[in-house]
Amino acid sequence: MSLFELKDVSYQYAAATRPALDRITLNVEEGALFAVLGPNGSGKSTLLRVMLGELETSAGSVTYAGRSSASWGRREIATQIAFVPQAEPMAFPMTVRALVEMGRYPHTGILGRMGADDRIAVDGAMERAGIADLGSRSIRNLSGGERQRVRIARALAQEPRILVLDEPTAALDLHFEMETFELMRELTEERSFTVVVATHNLNLAARYASRLALLARGHIEAIGAPEDVITADKIGRVYRWPVLVTSLEEQGSGVESPQVVPLSGGAASALS
Ligand code: ADP
Ligand code: MG
């Protein structure tokens, strides 16, 4: 079943001279790990916000679970979809646990009391995100990577069906980047979550995602399985840099994923 269906969706910011999204048509199936790729400014964040119903499209239709996304109430949608935005100010001095508890608002209401279920959800979310021992720390004194995991925990505490993440691994070292991709895979494969993730890590997207959409200047340049999207021609063209695409077999699995190696020196200068 398609959870998200976008048909001919365009979006233009008030101040902009060209659309940030230009006639996007795509479906996200339930249980998919769907990766949104594309250079800076290609429309990834805008696409996620349109899917979440945060931005109203200027043309086309967006449906979530068969219903127009605009017809979902904010709190109703928050029980279904959790969003981890690219960056957010964390100015208030509060503990990690208090921030993760905010993920329960759609269930408890803003002034609602935390019940036993809520506490279990918060504990479980902190465990999964690998921050169980950070609960009493102030969110102001965390490293970039810790902060990012706290935000993922807050989203999991929401107990959604769908997790939408905007460049969740941008601040993470190799270990936590891998853990984040492993977590996204586990959520989709073992817990029938649907995950939509915007990322610049083409190689991990190719290994972990079931479907990829490659954006370029607001339109879809390619969409499909990793081997259909991650080609030297498409990646080289969209990112304006020559690349080699090799293939990596996951140990003993027989599954091969395309992997991008950007070229340097002479090969790169031949570009201009
Ligand atoms: P990405 O996430 O792929 O980097 P964005 O969706 O943030 O891309 O941006 C797509 C395009 O929309 C870019 O050209 C960007 O400059 C423009 N844009 C983004 N936010 C705004 C805004 N609030 N007002 C005007 N233009 C914007
Ligand atoms: Mg972005």
Question: What pLDDT is attached to residue 232?
Answer: 97
Q: Which atom of ligand 1 is nearest to the CA of 47?
A: 6
* Dist. CA 40 → ligand 1 center (Å): 9
Ligand with the closest atom to the CA of 16:
1
Q: Nearest C-alpha to atom 21 of ligand 1 is from which residue?
A: 13
Of 42, 48, 197, 214, best ligand 1 pocket probe by most atoms within 8 Å of the beta carbon = 42
* Dist. CA 44 → ligand 1 center (Å): 8
pLDDT at 34 over 60: yes
* pLDDT tens digits along 221-230: 999 999 999 9
High-pLDDT (> 70) share of the chain, %: 97
Question: What pLDDT is attached to residue 267?
Answer: 66
Cα–Cα–Cα angle for 21, 28, 62, rounded to 5 degrees:
50
Mean pLDDT of the chain: 92
Going by their DSSP bridges, the two strands 59-64 and 211-216 should be labelled as: unpaired
* pLDDT tens digits along 57-114: 989 999 999 998 888 888 888 889 999 998 887 778 899 999 999 999 888 876 778 8
If you average pLDDT over residues 39-51, what whole number do you get? 97
Question: What pLDDT is attached to residue 194?
Answer: 97
Show the tokens assigned to 173. 């070292």
Closest listed residue to residue 51, CA positions, set 165, 160, 212: 165
Of 10, 11, 13, best ligand 1 pocket probe by most atoms within 8 Å of the beta carbon = 13
| Strands, E assignment, the chain | 2-11, 21-29, 33-37, 59-64, 67-68, 81-84, 162-166, 194-198, 211-216, 219-224, 243-249, 256-262
* Dist. CA 218 → ligand 1 center (Å): 9
* Distance between CA atoms of residues 154 and 66, nearest Å: 27
Question: What pLDDT is attached to residue 103?
Answer: 94
User: By mean pLDDT, which of 198-212, 214-228, 239-253 is the weakest?
Assistant: 239-253
* pLDDT tens digits along 171-190: 889 998 999 999 999 999 98
Question: What pLDDT is attached to residue 252?
Answer: 83
Question: What pLDDT is attached to residue 182?
Answer: 94
* Distance between CA atoms of residues 42 and 217, nearest Å: 4
Q: Which atom of ligand 1 is nearest to the CA of 49?
A: 6
Could you tell me if 38 and 86 are in contact, meaning their C-beta atoms sit under 8 angstroms apart? no
- Which CA distances in Å does 47 have to 25, 123, 194, 237? 11, 31, 16, 21
Pocket residues: Cβ below 6 A from ligand 1? 13, 15-16, 20, 38, 40-46
